[in-house]
Structure 1
Amino acid sequence: MSPHILSGRHHHDDDEFEVPLSENWLWKSNNFSLVSAGIDIGSSSTLVLLMRINIKKSGSGRYAKFKVVSRELVYESPVNFTPYKHGGLIDSEKIRKIISAAFSGAGVTKDSIDVGALILTGEAMRSENSSEIGRSLSLDSGRFISVNAGHKLESVLAAHGSGAVDESIRSGSTVLNIDIGGGTTKYALVSRGQILASWALSIGGRLVLFNRDGFVEKVTTDFSNLSEKLGFELGPGSYVSVEQKKRLATSLADIVMKGTKGNEEVLNSFPELALTEFPDIGHYKIDGVMVSGGVGEFVYNASLPDFGDIGRELGMAVAAQIDKHGFRKLIPRSCLRATVAGVSGFTMQVSGNTIYCPSYDGFPLRNLPVIHIHNDDEEPLNDHIREKVESLGITPGRGVVLMFHWDEEANYSNMISFVKQLKAPISDLTESGGKVVLVTDGDIAQSLGHIMEEEGLDTSRIICLDGISLNELNFVDIGNPLDDVGALPVTVKSLDFNWRQYPKERK
């Protein structure tokens, strides 16, 4: 399957000149498609999703940008339980087999994957070898696979994958997406397409496992302590009746619903459950609630089979709580695959095709931190960039992205003035061995690069891109150039492998 061939025909007034779109050089430079892989290694399940992302160039001149115009599902894997070794370590060999089987099922090879992301979520992120697994799999799983982790990022991706973001745009409303997985519950408040806030709790459907007779086979220490606090004794070998499971699930669902308020109510009674800071969202009116994640499946369909955990009972209890609180229950586009769907379609951008990149040595580039620089006279750029590098802990030799807004005339005088300000800090960064990627929203990347050549900068370590939107504290991967296009695929992400223990005190 070639990701760069688009079906269809380009029609001219004279049929004699009809040619397939894929053979039209002008079409290929402005319209193309990518195969994207989304791999989610979660607390209880591992999923693989393959999508075709269709991209079109819109606008002209300095305002021209490549935009995603549609996404087509190519393949979705069956549900696989996330494999762990003794001691809670993720079994990397079995994970590789799951991914390989998914690629085979889709009829693709690693080389067929253009762009994508791998994310370790929930309890899987807490595994001691999570960062090692992420790095090794990102190198194994195709031309360009990123590693993403972090509760807030997962919340945002789930809100996109479930359809909550699209629903908020369609209806002009404020939607709360609750993503309940095997080990964590993530919230994302969305209004008219914008993520207003995200936060997370340590509650999930697979923190306790039962055998067929109702005896506890496995329970996490944290969940055992929580259950005891709620009046239930759960330990390996203890018996839990159907009625007790329902009552426990109701207590958990009550905490989940209190968490929808995003305030201190949950934290006062259960501070150990907080995985992130909780925002103040009391002034927002929630128009509807959407539930995704594995537990979300049971919110909308209680007749699904039990998986030997508390997920089914928790889903049913959450559904009852939503009705009790008077929320409008919205139907998600995807429940179990919400996070992996979000990864496949949300994190990828494409640069403009008038870029400056004299050397592709070392590509793909991974985990480049973003610094937003301000092109004004308030502070010299040299001091500004050095302060940012120090505050973000960017070590010598590490590549970095300098993002800036350009609203001036794209003439030589303005650009050379800007380059002269950048000369000293860029020289410092490149001399230590790192790549420097300048990213702007103006259509000046190629011109800027040539002026840097004139100024004697080491341009073998400099890249200039335009048509990309970034925020500070983003991290980006930059893939190999796209065939026939001259643009570069960019994946925006937030990495957080330093999972911190629950805060004992909150300000």
Structure 2
Amino acid sequence: MPNSALTGTHHHGRHHHGHTDAHDDHDHDHGVTIGTDDPDHPLWERDQIVLTSVGIDIGSATSQLLFSRLTLRRLGRELSSAFAVVDKRIVHESAVALTPYAEGLRIDEERLTALVDQAFQDAGIRADEVDTGAVILTGEATRRSNARAIADLFAARTGRFICATAGHDMEATLAAHGSGAVARSERDGARVLNIDIGGGTTKLSVAEAGTVRSTGALHLGARLIVVDASGRIVRLEPAGRRLALSLGLDWSSGDQVHAAELAELAALMADTVVATVNGTPAPLDGLDWLRLTEPLTEHGPYDAVVFSGGVAEYVYGRESREFGDLGPLFGRALAERSGRLPGPVEDGGGTIRATVLGASQYTVRVSGNTIHISDPDLLPLHNLRVVRPEVELPETVDPSSVAEAIGTHLARLDADPADALVLGFRWSGLPSFPRLDAFVEGIRRGLSARIAAGGPLCLLFEGDIARTVGGILLDQGLTVPVISVDGITVGEFDFVDIGAVLPKSGTVPVSLKSMVFSL
């Protein structure tokens, strides 16, 4: 990747910002300076951290950056106490630009780098003033041949960015948070359906009481077909061609198409979305291939239906410009069918900017007396993505149920056995040996593919059971390295750094980085 704003050197410590009017001039402590190898840094003792963060969203159709100021406050007096985001403020929004593609199946690295550099320049923020950030690739952008390499480069060259290449279900979950659907469901105890439509895919999610209960995705998006001012096709994705064929339209790149034909195609797309969220048959036979995931497991009626993504701008009538794609026709067709949706349409406010603000970051110390690290030479580990299976722990724990919950959750998140993950669990009930032994057996079964890949197996627990779990795994014959840490509360969109054991105190520094949403 060419040199860019994200490859600059970061100068740790306190410094003064001289930003534009959107950035108040003030000194602040950068959370990134609490290094996993710097236990004596004075910020260990601080109760408040202010971070400058950036969220970079690279999607099928558009890419954008959001710069924010995040304030974190320690929740307790101990150095192991977590921090919470108590204030978040957007300080700059970049222009929403079309994601640049090169010939073939590649994202244009040079043009993407230029887009990022321009956003930093417009924000009046230097690379060395950014503490944390998140890079998210979604939709068709994830299927480009160099997509993951670009995301990893952004993350690796800064050392301060978490990176996620979102599969369909993760993208749907991200959209539910970014659009405000999850916040709305938590605030009002409501059931909210979020429909997020981008350039290549439509993501569906059901949020209830602050939790995403079900997700799904369809291969329907605004930029499956793009025409120039004369109506000639300049971009035709395979899914767009196949969908057109279902209407008897045998299109190829370079063909001339008529406005009425595009409107007919957009109407079919809207009818398919409406049928899917209602759980009714598709408007035409032979459209099962449009479903990219299993159907939603939750069904209406809903207290609210919220649209997000680029097409939402047309659903809500906030955008009138045309970019040669199906966005305007698709959005208006959905608006015309709003009465057939399984709930009243509400404006969540997220729409095209239903993305992350960036990432919060803080570090805690965990006592070395309560954890299990079978091979200390493996540490430090960086940017482990947290996954949190919902495991039921009745009085008699069933290993098969634990294994099934873990396997189902990993499948929903499109997790690969080779991915750098840490599994987070909430323990409840008595820590008796029979219960723990059954629980650990379930973990071992549920993570069998990861174990076969050679590990290491990284586990986090809210309860004080990490050392015991590590010992039981060894007793059950596990041969891959195990890193088991407790006293840590994590969420679904967290990333974790686990530092090396500090020789003086015997503690282990754990840095938690969390995606932060604007709504």
Which TM-score band (shorter chain)? 0.7 to 0.9
Alpha-carbon separation, structure 2, partners of 1:240 and 1:258:
27
Q: Deviations over 1:412-449 (max 9, x none)?
A: xxx8766754666899444xxxxx54333x4xxxxxxx
Alpha-carbon separation, structure 1, partners of 2:289 and 2:214:
21
- What one-letter code is carried by the residue in structure 2 that aligns with 1:294? G
Aligned pairs (5 A) from 1:12-51: 29-51=46-68
* Cα distance, 1:111–1:265 mapped onto 2, change above 3 Å: same
Alpha-carbon separation, structure 2, partners of 1:27 and 1:369:
26
* Cα distance, 1:238–1:171 mapped onto 2, change above 3 Å: same
Aligned pairs (5 A) from 1:39-438: 39-59=56-76, 64-141=81-158, 143-261=160-278, 265=282, 269-282=286-299, 284-301=300-317, 304-325=320-341, 327-341=343-357, 344=358, 350=362, 352-354=364-366, 362=380, 364-366=382-384, 368-371=420-423, 376-378=432-434, 379=437, 387-393=445-451, 395-396=453-454, 398-406=455-463, 420-421=471-472, 428-430=479-481, 436-438=482-484
Q: Deviations over 1:166-187 (max 9, x none)?
A: 2222332211111100000001
* Cα distance, 1:371–1:28 mapped onto 2, change above 3 Å: closer
Report the Cα offset of residue 324 of structure 1.
4.1
Aligned to 1:478: 497
Q: How many residues align?
A: 432
Q: Which runs of 5+ in 2 are unaligned?
A: 1-9, 17-26, 31-41, 386-419, 501-507
Alpha-carbon separation, structure 2, partners of 1:135 and 1:267:
41
- What one-letter code is carried by the residue in structure 1 that aligns with 2:171? E
Report the Cα offset of residue 253 of structure 1.
0.6
Alpha-carbon separation, structure 2, partners of 1:83 and 1:277:
31
Report the Cα offset of residue 207 of structure 1.
0.9
Alpha-carbon separation, structure 2, partners of 1:354 and 1:6:
29
Q: Deviations over 1:352-400 (max 9, x none)?
A: 445659999656344532346775523278866654553335633x443
Alpha-carbon separation, structure 2, partners of 1:142 and 1:62:
24
1:439 lines up with 2:485 in the alignment: yes
* Cα distance, 1:313–1:377 mapped onto 2, change above 3 Å: same
RMSD: 3.8
Report the Cα offset of residue 189 of structure 1.
0.7
1:489 lines up with 2:511 in the alignment: yes
Please say if residues 115 and 479 of structure 1, whose CA atoms lie closer than 8 Å, have aligned partners that are also in contact.
Answer: no
Helix, strand or coil for the counterpart of 1:73? strand
Helix, strand or coil for the counterpart of 1:333? strand
Alpha-carbon separation, structure 1, partners of 2:179 and 2:129:
26
Report the Cα offset of residue 237 of structure 1.
3.2
Report the Cα offset of residue 139 of structure 1.
1.4
Please say if residues 61 and 223 of structure 2, whose CA atoms lie closer than 8 Å, have aligned partners that are also in contact.
Answer: yes
Helix, strand or coil for the counterpart of 1:209? strand
Q: Deviations over 1:288-334 (max 9, x none)?
A: 11111111111112652101111111111111111344731211222
* Cα distance, 1:488–1:76 mapped onto 2, change above 3 Å: farther
- What one-letter code is carried by the residue in structure 2 that aligns with 1:439? V
Please say if residues 196 and 204 of structure 2, whose CA atoms lie closer than 8 Å, have aligned partners that are also in contact.
Answer: yes
- What one-letter code is carried by the residue in structure 2 that aligns with 1:147? A
Report the Cα offset of residue 287 of structure 1.
1.3
Please say if residues 469 and 484 of structure 2, whose CA atoms lie closer than 8 Å, have aligned partners that are also in contact.
Answer: no
Report the Cα offset of residue 6 of structure 1.
11
- What one-letter code is carried by the residue in structure 1 that aligns with 2:459? L
Report the Cα offset of residue 36 of structure 1.
2.4
- What one-letter code is carried by the residue in structure 1 that aligns with 2:490? S
Aligned to 1:446: none
The worse-fitting range, judged by mean Cα deviation, of 103-112 and 372-381 is 372-381
* Cα distance, 1:297–1:197 mapped onto 2, change above 3 Å: same
Alpha-carbon separation, structure 1, partners of 2:63 and 2:499:
27
The worse-fitting range, judged by mean Cα deviation, of 308-317 and 103-112 is 103-112
Helix, strand or coil for the counterpart of 1:439? strand
Alpha-carbon separation, structure 1, partners of 2:47 and 2:306:
37
- What one-letter code is carried by the residue in structure 2 that aligns with 1:184? T
Please report the TM-score for the alignment, with normalisation by the length of structure 1. Answer: 0.74
Alpha-carbon separation, structure 2, partners of 1:361 and 1:63:
19
Alpha-carbon separation, structure 2, partners of 1:323 and 1:477:
44
* Cα distance, 1:386–1:301 mapped onto 2, change above 3 Å: closer
The worse-fitting range, judged by mean Cα deviation, of 96-105 and 249-258 is 96-105
- What one-letter code is carried by the residue in structure 2 that aligns with 1:400? L
Please say if residues 380 and 421 of structure 1, whose CA atoms lie closer than 8 Å, have aligned partners that are also in contact.
Answer: no
- What one-letter code is carried by the residue in structure 1 that aligns with 2:149? E
Helix, strand or coil for the counterpart of 1:316? helix
* Cα distance, 1:190–1:386 mapped onto 2, change above 3 Å: closer
Q: Which runs of 5+ in 1 are unaligned?
A: 8-19, 409-414, 431-435, 443-465, 494-507
* Cα distance, 1:416–1:192 mapped onto 2, change above 3 Å: closer
* Cα distance, 1:403–1:326 mapped onto 2, change above 3 Å: closer
Please report the TM-score for the alignment, with normalisation by the length of structure 2. Answer: 0.72
Alpha-carbon separation, structure 2, partners of 1:179 and 1:248:
19
Alpha-carbon separation, structure 1, partners of 2:67 and 2:151:
18
Aligned to 2:21: none
- What one-letter code is carried by the residue in structure 1 that aligns with 2:166? A
The worse-fitting range, judged by mean Cα deviation, of 256-265 and 288-297 is 256-265
Please say if residues 470 and 483 of structure 2, whose CA atoms lie closer than 8 Å, have aligned partners that are also in contact.
Answer: no
Alpha-carbon separation, structure 2, partners of 1:372 and 1:439:
10
Please say if residues 57 and 66 of structure 1, whose CA atoms lie closer than 8 Å, have aligned partners that are also in contact.
Answer: yes
- Percent sequence identity over matched residues? 30
